[in-house]
Amino acid sequence: EKKALQIIDEDSLLIIVDTQNKAIVLGPTLLEHATNVIVVDHHRSDMDAIKGKINLIDTNSSSVIELLTGLLPYIDVNITYTDLEANILYSAIIIDTQNLINKTSSNTFDALKYLIQNGSDTQVVKQWLRRDLEEINKFNGFISEAIRFEEKFLFILSNEILTSVEVSQLCDLGLEVQGIMASFAISKINETEVKVSARSLKSVNVQSILETLNLSGGGHFTAAALVTKEYSVSELFNMIKEEINKEFQEGDKNVKVILIEDIKDKGKADEIIEVKPGYAQFLISGKKAILATKDNVKELEEKQESIKKASEQIYKTMLLAKESIEGKTVVIKMQVGADLKIFGAVTSGKIAEAFNVQHNILLDKKKISIESDINSLGIYQASIALYKDIKANFHIEVLAENV
């Protein structure tokens, strides 16, 4: 940060990854001096989130690495990695997903495949992430004294100072206990701060449980954390138990609410769901849902009817668009070597730009798919996803630049 502060000017670009929280960035002073900021993160935003010129936030991504590797095909630059860099990126995904248990998707495995293709060695990563015997014995001691609550919740408490990483690792271990649906590790991380790390299987939203404490933190449905100076280990233990009781208490009549936004493993925006009263109150107070009253349900039905009509009109329009694109050929000229191999990459951005110039039709580069790698002169098959099941096929003809 000290070196960066010496060279930063109004044209400098600061890229912040894996957080939107001003309190935990590695260079808070640098952030204050930065004019141009881009934020790339996979945690949920809050009211105090950093506002960048561009904020690329995808809470469905398992890690920032998954997000970044997903961006690379759209960058018209040949990116190379050292084996060390590829291994570091690969290990970050393994750690963020708790060994590919939590929050994985096909995109996660696409990212891992990409990193292996660029030099990552899974055996090296495995060796990096092994624990020594002293650490294993230490962790086993904490696990042996863990407190089981309401059968499916496990609390691992420590009044001695642990590192932030150790608290997270303890929490991961807690989730490996048979029958446990959510694990909470609570420990001092220095003389003044206490950290809570939470992990769960899909049936428990640990993020919402921690958010109800109104303390600074972040995370996902199945992995969340917070750090506070306000409460002790035992106080946080009791507070979290109270929130669990509110959300998972038995016998209370469920409440119907209309979701305002997507809530993972609960429902989609504009969907009516039934939840426990405590969780309903959390959703409503957080402006994530409204009560499913007669008037609110009627308004929702009118909205859905309007959306249905608009969707039908879009469908008809996209069928016409398909007729305009189907079977057309776009010509891309590239530099070639003596072996007729092309220099550079034929990106979806180049294809969309050429299509617009040659046919006066603007394509969304993100929705273009190419059936095979373009690495030499010739004709290639491609398609573009227009809407739902509507797809238009076209050809890409790659010619030498002097033709």
Tell me how far the alpha carbon of residue 396 is from its chain's centroid: 33
Tens-digit pLDDT profile for residues 108-160: 999 999 999 999 999 999 999 888 899 899 999 999 999 999 889 999 999 89
Residue by residue, what is the 3-state secondary structure of 275-333?
ECHHHHHHHHHCCCEEECCHHHHHHHHHHHHHHHHHHHHHHHHHHHHHHHHCCCEEEEE
- Is residue 282 a contact partner of residue 247, using CB atoms and an 8 Å limit? yes
**Nearest Cα residue to 45 out of 16, 65, 13, 71:** 16
| Residue 248 or 201, more confident | 201
Q: DSSP readout, 191-249?
A: SS-EEEEEEE-TT--HHHHHHTTT-SEEE-SSEEEEEESSS-HHHHHHHHHHHHHHHH-
Handedness of CA 18, 20, 193, 4 (dihedral sign): positive
Helix (H) / strand (E) element for 385: namely strand 378-387
pLDDT value for 213: 84
Distance CA 362, CA 137 (A): 61
pLDDT value for 245: 84
The mean pLDDT value of the chain amounts to: 89
